Amino acid sequence: ANFSEQVVENFPSDISTGIYYGWARVGNGDVHKMVLSIGWNPFYKNVKKSVETHIIHSFKDDFYGEILSIVIIGYIRSEKTFSSLEALILAIQEDIEEAKRQLDLPEHLKLKEDNFFHLPEGKTVNH
């Protein structure tokens, strides 16, 4: 799930580029583990900074246009380029496994239940 350019421009400027892990919620659905990439994706030579969320869950339907709420918990690694698409895919798989391990820790698991994800009915907040 990619955030719009407007959202990316409003991210705090002091967040380093790289790969992060945390929690994500689509609309008012369940909270799931996620891996987040912030940067220029050097393998694809992007010219604009992007923020891409990989939610570690299989959804039945597309969720274009839904509000995506995220909580960034920790940092996995810096951005880098790869010699092949296969190497990139392997790194992404390793990032996902690291995120799963970290998010299963009690201090990270409790943040899944944070009030941030549980707004009172009828209230919406854009983050």
Question: What is the helix (H) or strand (E) element at residue 9, kind and residue range?
Answer: helix 5-9
Taking the C-alpha atoms of residue 90 and residue 16, their distance in angstroms, rounded to an integer, is 22
Give the active site residues: 52
Going from the C-alpha of 35 to that of each of 22, 32, 121, 122, 124, the distances in angstroms are 6, 10, 28, 29, 24
